[in-house]
Amino acid sequence: MSTLGAFRILVADVQIPPSGAWFGTVSLDSSTLPALGPTVLTIGDLQLVGSIIRADWDDAPNGGRPIATVRGGAGWRLPVKRAGSYASSGVKLSTVLADLSRMTGETVAPLAADLSLGESFAWPAHAPLAPFHGDDVLADLVARGYLATWRIAPFTGRTEWTAWPKIGAADGRGRITDRARDRGRRTVGLDVQVAAFLPGATLEGLAIARTLVHASASELQAEVYET
């Protein structure tokens, strides 16, 4: 059974990218809407620590069912509270990330090695016609080469600054039901072992870079991509 907090899930579709935050949409077996805020999405043996950022009723007959949008690192999608401006003989990456984590409320991993961003670093203030969010700052740092990548660790919800760890072969943990080699995609039927198919695993000797999980009352499957 899949759950979102204390709610039983009817249908869930979750995307776990090679970098950035995971996100998903779930339909719930409930007569009430879930509260917005921190939660844990559980599918098989995989737990994704994140937040419900939106909840509403679907348009099904007989009153409908709650549908929730959930994501990891939800604070990074919030508008920045202020413009950022740093100037010194050597602006530290750790200083910028510490300020961002306080602003967004996200827990972050320590850096393996600190870097200098030069004598200045800045980001613009959020505006209705020019929106700017916390993850826009992270994207800028990645584009400039100061961060290699970032991701949300599934079982802790912490922001990590490293690529997905290699977790070994997922062969034998599910049943391959389809191969689309032109798209670098394989579809795998699952029972309980979902975490084995996270990015960083391998399947048929090929590295998994991106994972899409679909769960319902009748099926549990993962689509895994090489890129």
* 124: its two tokens: 């613009």
- Please tell me whether residues 90 and 131 are part of one structural domain: yes
- Please tell me whether residues 43 and 58 are part of one structural domain: yes
Can you give the pTM of this predicted structure? 0.93
Contact 75, 161 (CB under 8 A): no
- 43 forms beta bridges with 46
What's residue 1's pLDDT?
80
**Which residues are within 8 A (CB) of 72 and not within 5 positions of it... i.e. 6 or more apart?**
21, 22, 23, 48, 49, 50, 51, 152, 154, 157
Contact 51, 45 (CB under 8 A): no
For position 194, which CATH number holds?
A: 2.30.300.10
Let me know if residue 57 belongs to a domain: yes
Q: How many domains does the chain have?
A: 2
pLDDT, one tens digit per residue, over 67-84 is 999 999 999 999 999 999
Ramachandran angles phi, psi of 2, nearest 5°:
-100, 145
Given a cut of 70, the residues of the chain with pLDDT beneath it are 60-63
Range of the domain at 221: 1-72+164-227
pLDDT, one tens digit per residue, over 126-146 is 999 999 999 999 999 999 999
What's residue 89's pLDDT?
85
Please tell me the distance from the alpha carbon of residue 13 to that of residue 133, in angstroms, as a whole number. 24
Let me know if residue 154 belongs to a domain: no
- 152 forms beta bridges with 159
| CA 198, 199, 201, 206 torsion-angle sign | positive
Please tell me the distance from the alpha carbon of residue 140 to that of residue 76, in angstroms, as a whole number. 13
Short-list 18, 29, 59, CA closest to 210: 18
What's residue 62's pLDDT?
62
- Please tell me whether residues 24 and 130 are part of one structural domain: no
